[in-house]
Each structure stands twice: as structure tokens, then as C-alpha cells.
Structure 1
Amino acid sequence: MNNGFLGAETRFKKPPSETLVNSAFAYELECSRYVMKGLSIADLAHVMNLSQDEVIQPDVALALIKGLQDVHLRGTDVIPLDPAVGDSYNNRDKYLQSELPALSGYIHIGRARREASTLAWQLCCREKMLNVHKALTKLVATFNDVIAQHHTTYMADFTYLQHAQPTTLAHYLQGFQMPLTRDLDRVENALKMVNQSPACSGSVNGSQIPMDRYRIAELLEFPAVIEHTRDAMWAPDMCLDLMLPLNSIMTTLDRVSEEFIVWNSAEFAYLELDDAHTRTSVIMPQKKNPYGLAYIRGQARALNGTMMSLLSCNQTISGQPDNRLYAYGELPRAMDYVEQCLALFEETLRAARFDKSQLAKAAADNFIISTDLCDMLVKHAGLDNRSAHKIIARAVRNALENAQTKLTLSAVMTAASQLAIVLPAISQDVFDEVSNIPSLIMLRQGVGSAHPDSVKSLASKTARRISLAEDYANELNFEHFEQRFLNRVNEYIAFLEGQCER
């Protein structure tokens, strides 16, 4: 009889079928690289907590913790992975049975497999989410660096890929930076959610085994516990809290990447990507394809599917395994992809070369000031906006019909006359101020406008947010959590050794 599976010779008479093993079990085992180390930490913390609550004797705890520590230090690669055995938890359990045959059974006291797996998954997710936070902070800072170089780089803003109004490259890029800055808040909220301990929940409604939930949370550097034990085991909203900021980040990266792909084309030529972030064509030697940006675009779309998958899986009832089974691998993998895309776009943005003359050429399109001419008529001629709009639209029509590329004050006056709209005299100086792009940009005085002072003010606020984000990451410092945890394990081993010597 095959004794390698959980339940052999007890509830079950025969092992799982080969079809089940090669499908569901094999899929579940794919997440091992994300949760196996966390399972090891969860085991050590659980046994230490049981020992402190005097559920197991000091000599048993000492031998078990030393054995678990030894296994942990060997690394996760030493544990064979066989889908016939089951998931990551079962494969680890089988290995521990061979390494610690007289002791490994104590690990399961008062704890479901689901709890250990959930805890391991949260340990993984909080570390990876902080990595996303750091990469996002770096990109927001790089935007500030690039923005600072382009306060007077004039360009045509777009709607529907048509010239809309004149602006600066600094202001335009800042429009992509702002949602990424808000994503820092979203990521930090997600970290707050995932950084709560589910440990010592029993199965779903607690346990009669005495276990201090706050002590184990402190040991694992969780600042809080998910208080309700059944909720702690499923917390379906946690997956969504983690996934939403990832999708939000990728939405902005996709938008700006798509823009840069267009800008990198010969038809626009606003931007040249560095060789390091492109790829040659196999057949067309002259090409330099924006492959890095295309990769980001593809990942953004793929992660939309991941979001819908996790949303659907977490709509089940009665603690179905869908809630976590698909999240154990998909969410950490999504975090890896987003971290990669953030790093890739940060490099791409920093190394890209913007063609100021080509951007200025587009800004010189005289029709691009049409909206501002409407505003001029409102301000200086006392017209309502609808009348002003009609006049300027007619002036544009006249110019196009006469193959003219420039609007003049006389053309505006003629259009008003054609529409029988009485237009008070407008001075040439007022018209010229609106027609000159640098002076026109300086007329934009509102908060968040393209005026250089407004852009700089917002950049200063962003710089302060970057500093707060860096402080936040340094305070959490999950990068060195494992070493701090192992130090506490050693301290507790020394304590137990002292007890056992008495």
C-alpha cells in the first residue's frame, strides 16, 4: 500500500488517482517556491508558541525546534516535491516525518493545514508587496527627476491622438506620475491588510488548546491579528486588497507605455528609446522595436485576467479551497511581474531621449491655441463661451478651406462678422500673448496647471511623499525579517536549554 499520502491506512483505503495527482495536486504544488520558506517559519513559530503556553514539554520543544531550525537552514530545495504526496504542506510534512520521526506530529497540534499555508502565503505576500512599494517609490522619484528637466519643453497635448492644447512635457509626464503616487497609498493599505496574523485560529472557530494569538503575531512581526478566527482562515477581501493596487499600477504603466510606443514611431519621433530597452527585428535590420514597453503592455492585460480569476475564486461559500488554492501562486507571481515592470519602466524612462525640437514643432501648430482664443474672447470681449466657440471654430474652418495654417486676429474678426456676432475690439498685444506658447503657458495660474511654478510645487509635494514612502519601507524592513526571527529562535533555544538543565 502507498503510505506516502495523507490519510493512508486511516480514513482512506487507497491513494489519490493518478489523474487527480497530475492535475489538481500538481497545480497546487506549483506554489511551493512562494510558500515553502514561510511554512518553515510558521512551524518554528507555532512550536515556540505551544512551548510557551506549556502545551508541549521543554525537552520535546527543544529537540523539535532544533530539528526544525536545522531543516530551515538547509533551505527549501532539499525537500522533494511529489504531487502524489499532495500540496506543499504535505510534502514538507512527509520530509519532516523522515527527518524528525518521533517529533513531527507535535507540529499539527491546534493548527489546520490551511492556517499554516495561509500564514506562509501572507509572509510571502507582505515581503513581495513591500518590494513592489520600493520599486514604485523609485519610479515616482525618477519621474520627478525627468520632470525637472522639462519645465520649458513645449509640446502639444492630445485627446484622441489629436492636438488639443499646448503644454509642457513636464506637466504631461506629471499626469502619469500622479496616479502612481496615489498607488503608494493603495499599496500601503494592502500591506496593512496582509500584515495581520491569522495564526492560532484552530480550524475555523478557535481551539481548546491554549495558544496566545498575540504572542505569535509579535514573534512574526505582525502588528495585529485578524481577530475573528473563521475570517482569518479565508479573508476573501485580502486577495482583492492585494490585487487592486497591482492592477492600478499596471493600468498607468500600460497607458504611458502605449503612449511612448506611439511617440517612438517615425510618424511622431518625439522619443527615442535606449538600445538597452529595445529589440531588433529578425528580418528588418533597420528596426529597433520597443519590446520592453510591449512587454509591460502585455503584462497589464494578463494581470486583468488574474484579477478576475481571484475575484471569482473568492466568491465561493463554506470555505471552498478556491479562495486560497489559486491565490497561493497567482498573487505572489503577479507581484513579481509588477515589480519587474516597474523596474523596467523606470530604466526606460530614465534612459529615454525626448526630442525637444520635434515636440516644439507640434506645439507650433497654430490651431492648438483655439481653446485659449475662446478664453481670450470670454476674458477680453465679454462673450459667452458658446459664442466664442462658434467664432473660433468658424475661423479654423475658414483657414482650412483657404489652405492656411495660422489663425490671425483679422481671421477671428472675420469669422465673428460671418456669424453676425458683435465682437468688441481686441488688441494685437492680447492676441499675441495667447499666440505665443511660452507666454500662454505662463497665463495658466491655477493649481495643478502647466505653469512651471505649479508643476514645481506639485513635484515638491511628491518629493515629500517619496520621503514618507522610503521611511515607511525602512520601518517595515521585511528584507531582514527572517534573520531577526532566527535570532529569536536561537534565544529561545538557549532559554529551553537552561530549563532542561535544571
Structure 2
Amino acid sequence: MSNSFLGAGSRFKEGPDQRLYNSAFQYELECSPYIMSNLSIADMSHVMTLIQGGVISSSKGRKLLSGLLEVHLQGTENIPLDPAVGDSYNNRDKYLQQQIGPDSGYVHIGRARREASTIAWQMVCREKLFCLHEKLIQLCEVFNHVVSQHLNTFMADFTYLQHAQPTTLAHYLQGFQRPLLRDIGRIETAIKMVNLSPACSGSVNGSQIEMNREFIAELLEFDGILTHTRDAMWAPDMCIDVMTSLCSIMTSLNRISEEFIIWNSAEFSYLELADGFTRTSVIMPQKKNPYGLAFIRGQARTFNGMMTNILSTNQTISGQPDNRLYAYGELPKALDYAIQCVDLFAGILSTSKFNKDKLAEAAADKFIVATDLCDMLVKFSDLDNRSAHKIIGRAVRNACDEEQDGFTLDSIKLAAQQLNIDLPNIPDQVFNSNIDIPSLISLRKGLGSANPEQVQLMVQDSQNSIAKAHSFQGNYRMSSFNERFVKKVNLFLNELKDK
């Protein structure tokens, strides 16, 4: 124990207290599954940079880099994690000393622990953000498929869970898809930010050790460099931007999941969930509980807490480790959950069966055309909207009092007379087109409306956005990064051998 911790025999007379390593150090180790493999890549790229700059001789560098590559190819499973040793970086350092010997100490030249961990963390975030980006594309493609099947599936739109206006299921679902399409853009922005290299920052102010920041950024396939060395080590907005994007996605998923939970109830019966995304009750065998939707809903609320965590820990004064200490594990974990939830909802949406009869029944609500009748009165008279609103409102009141079934042209004229408002003659054909649901929706020709032609235009627009997102994916090859990097290392070693 006395020689197993950083600073043993130098700065420190004794090792960490058990209460420290059982709490703080143990917490830091929980992020090891996320960053340990990329710590290995960070080490190799750093050594390659030191060799390239002449800081380490070719012969010594080749031996060290070969040892690091061998450890990397063994995987991270063999690296023991002991909180008494410290965090992931220190545990890896101890393992390297055992496997490579004293030469492993060259790995630390001109580089702080925080730099290596930050590189590893950004790389895992980059990888998971790309996965999330891909899952969002797939979900939006599912939306397009389902929307295209329901251009003429009529239903009642809701406000306050009350019937508001007639619409189509296609248009209604698009209202949930559009924010997700914008979320794709948010994730692309987050990817661009985490894909800037913080490498070769020294401690925080640079180093007198010669290191080529462009060289290592290219090795790690970063798009560019976080120029200011101090900013590169902390960059609190990076954590906040990523987490904000995730919260936006989870908010969108939560909103439609909440709707589907209600729609799945016997009182609504607007949709039936596939068995594979539900589970039954232990005690009530008739139940088919919307468990997948409940999981998404619960996770969305959990993300609120994660956002508070990331936000508050990044509000520390400059140079405090809190913002990374909690981000190293929390953000990759949040990314994993977001990936799961997006993928899960894509499965739910693609397999759900919508009850067209029940939806149409709601669209046939006798008062659901009230707003359109107001618009009709304004359109075919000199009435202001407030007067038209009064007339239709009075007609609703009369119908309720007399238990009448909806509107007639005569009932509207009577309401106007009761309010001493002059009404022009409204042709029967005009009135009928405003109470017939398919005809009424076809009258809404404005951009983005529920008119099936407009919905189809928005489907095409979303397909264009999806195509651009696919193009963004095509600019990167995250799935094979590790293989490409290993090839770079071997090529570098061969070049050293020839010198």
C-alpha cells in the first residue's frame, strides 16, 4: 500500500485515508468502463507526439510505444481497479509500471492527468453522440413512415386534454417529430464541440516541452483544436451543451410518451401497444401495462436531475476538478440512456396500432368545428373575430341547453339574432364544407397546416433533413476508429524501425 499511490516516497509521507478512497476515489473509478480504453489511446498518441518532437529518442520511444500497444491490444479487463491507488489514470499508471517498467514514466512528460482523462472522455462522448445521432435519424425515418400511412386518419387535436380542432394523425405526429429533427442539429453541434482536441495543454498554461498540437489532433481524428490551453482543460460549456441537447431529446420523447400512455388507456383506446413493449401485472392478469413508455417518462425526469448536476458542478471557480469529476461518468451514462430511449421509442412507434375508428369518433365531436365556423363567419362577412366568437359561443350554449346535436346554419343565425349582430347570408355549401371534417381540413392550405398536401411537403422536408444528417454521418467513421488508430501506431513503429 505504501508504494501504490501517486506521491509515495516523495510529496506524501503516508497514503490516502481509507475514508477518502472508499468515497471520492471509488466514485472516480466508476467512470473507468467509459474512459479506460481511450486513456490507452491518449497515452499512445501522446508518446507518438513526444517522439515526433524529438523529446523521446526513437529507440526508447519505439520500445515504449510497442509496450503501450501490447497493453492496449490486451484490453482493459486485466487492469485491476483499486480505490486505494486512486482514479482510473493512476490505476492504469500502476499497471503500466508492472507491464512496461520504469520507461512507462515517460508517458507523463508535459501532460497532466486531467488532460489524458479529458481526451478519453471527449472521445467516448464523441462516439456515443454519433450513435445517438444515428438513432435519431432512424427514429425520424420511422415517423415519416407512420405519418405517410395516416395522411387521412382524422382525429381531434387537444388542448387541456379537451377536443380542440379536427386534424389528422399524420399532422399530429409531425408535431412531435419536428423538435427531434432540430435535435439532430443540436447533436451535430455537440459533436463538433467535443471533437476539438485539448491535447498538449501542459498543466493548463502550455509547456516548454515541444509538442505538436496539430499532429496529435490529427492522430485522434479531432476536427480541430481547443486553442486556449487553460480553456481546453475545463471548457464547462462543453458539458452543458451536450447535456442540454440530451434534455431536449428526452423532453420530446417524454411529451409523446405521456400522450401515448393516455391514448393506450381504455378510456381513449386510440392505440394498442405491441406486446413486446409492454408487460403484464403480477396480480391482475388482464393488464397490458405500457412499460416501455413509462421507462422513457421516468428517464426524462431523471435527466432533469442530471442536468442540474452538470450545470451546478460546472459553476465552480476556475481550476476546480468538480466539473470533470462528475462529468466523466455522468455524461457518458446519460448518453447511453438517451440512445436506449430513442431506440426504444422507435420500436414502440413502428409497432403500435392506431384505432382509426376511435380517432374518427373523436373528430366527429359535435362542437369541434367551432373555431372553423368562426373563421367562416369572418371570411364571408365584415364581422371581427370577437363578434364571430360570441355568435358561435352562444350557439354552443343554446345547443347545450336544448341538448341539440352540434351546429346548424339556423342555430348560428339564431345566436346572432340573440346578440343583435347582423349576419350576411352564408351559402349552405360553404357551411357544409366547414362542418365536414375532410372538406374542412382540405380548406387549410397554409404552410405547415394539417392539409394532407402540406403534410406530404413536410414529410419531404424532413426527408431532406434526414439526408443531410446521413451526409454528416458520412463525414466520420467512428465505428472503425480503434482499428484505424492501431494501424497508425503500427505504421509509426515501422517508420521508427527504419530510422
TM-score over 0.5 for the alignment? yes
Q: Deviations over 1:386-421 (max 9, x none)?
A: 000000001001111111231111111111111111
Q: In 1, distance between residues paired with 2:288 and 2:83?
A: 44
Q: Which residue of 2 aligns with 1:69?
A: 69
Determine if contact 1:129/1:191 at 8 Å carries over to the other structure.
yes
Q: Which residue of 1 aligns with 2:493?
A: 493
Q: Which residue of 1 aligns with 2:48?
A: 48
Aligned partner letter, 1:255: R
Aligned partner letter, 2:385: N
Please report how far the alpha carbon of residue 358 of structure 1 lies from its aligned counterpart in structure 2 after TM superposition.
0.5
Counterpart of 2:450 in 1: which secondary structure? coil
Q: Which residue of 2 aligns with 1:247?
A: 247
Please report how far the alpha carbon of residue 145 of structure 1 lies from its aligned counterpart in structure 2 after TM superposition.
0.4
Aligned partner letter, 1:159: T
Q: Which residue of 2 aligns with 1:274?
A: 274
Range 469-478 or range 331-340, more displaced: 469-478
2:98 is the counterpart of 1:105: no
Q: In 2, distance between residues paired with 1:212 and 1:96?
A: 24
Q: Which residue of 2 aligns with 1:116?
A: 116
Please report how far the alpha carbon of residue 366 of structure 1 lies from its aligned counterpart in structure 2 after TM superposition.
1.8
Q: Which residue of 1 aligns with 2:306?
A: 306
Please report how far the alpha carbon of residue 217 of structure 1 lies from its aligned counterpart in structure 2 after TM superposition.
0.2
Q: In 2, distance between residues paired with 1:353 and 1:128?
A: 31
Q: Deviations over 1:304-341 (max 9, x none)?
A: 11011100000111311101000000000000000000
Determine if contact 1:140/1:177 at 8 Å carries over to the other structure.
yes
Report 1:30-41 matches (<5 A). Answer: 30-41=30-41
Please report how far the alpha carbon of residue 423 of structure 1 lies from its aligned counterpart in structure 2 after TM superposition.
0.9
Aligned partner letter, 1:105: G
Gaps of 5+ in 2: none
Gaps of 5+ in 1: none
2:249 is the counterpart of 1:228: no
Counterpart of 1:442 in 2: which secondary structure? helix
Q: In 2, distance between residues paired with 1:65 and 1:149?
A: 57
Please report how far the alpha carbon of residue 185 of structure 1 lies from its aligned counterpart in structure 2 after TM superposition.
0.7
Q: In 2, distance between residues paired with 1:318 and 1:254?
A: 35
Q: Which residue of 2 aligns with 1:335?
A: 335
2:362 is the counterpart of 1:389: no
2:471 is the counterpart of 1:471: yes
TM-score, with length taken from structure 2: 0.99
Q: Which residue of 2 aligns with 1:211?
A: 211
Q: Which residue of 2 aligns with 1:188?
A: 188
Q: Which residue of 1 aligns with 2:285?
A: 285
Q: Deviations over 1:93-113 (max 9, x none)?
A: 000011111210000000000
Q: Which residue of 2 aligns with 1:175?
A: 175
Counterpart of 2:415 in 1: which secondary structure? helix
Aligned partner letter, 2:133: H
Q: Deviations over 1:157-203 (max 9, x none)?
A: 00000000000000000000000000011000000100000000000
Q: Which residue of 2 aligns with 1:259?
A: 259
Counterpart of 1:165 in 2: which secondary structure? strand
Determine if contact 1:365/1:405 at 8 Å carries over to the other structure.
no
2:413 is the counterpart of 1:432: no
Q: Deviations over 1:113-168 (max 9, x none)?
A: 00000000000000001111000010011100000000000000000000000000
Q: In 1, distance between residues paired with 2:178 and 2:225?
A: 33
Aligned partner letter, 2:394: R
Aligned partner letter, 1:497: K
Q: Which residue of 2 aligns with 1:361?
A: 361
Deviating above 4 A after TM superposition, structure 1's stretches of 4 or more consecutive aligned residues are none
2:38 is the counterpart of 1:27: no
Counterpart of 2:170 in 1: which secondary structure? helix
Please report how far the alpha carbon of residue 381 of structure 1 lies from its aligned counterpart in structure 2 after TM superposition.
2.1
Q: In 1, distance between residues paired with 2:480 and 2:101?
A: 31
How many residue pairs align between the two structures? 499
Q: Deviations over 1:443-464 (max 9, x none)?
A: 0010000011111111101101
Q: In 1, distance between residues paired with 2:425 and 2:452?
A: 31
Q: Which residue of 2 aligns with 1:403?
A: 403
State the identity as a percent: 62
Q: Deviations over 1:2-55 (max 9, x none)?
A: 111111111001111110011000001000000001100000000001001010
Range 400-409 or range 318-327, more displaced: 400-409
Aligned partner letter, 2:278: T
Q: In 2, distance between residues paired with 1:404 and 1:262?
A: 29
Aligned partner letter, 2:372: D
Determine if contact 1:280/1:289 at 8 Å carries over to the other structure.
yes
2:84 is the counterpart of 1:84: yes
Q: In 2, distance between residues paired with 1:186 and 1:425?
A: 52
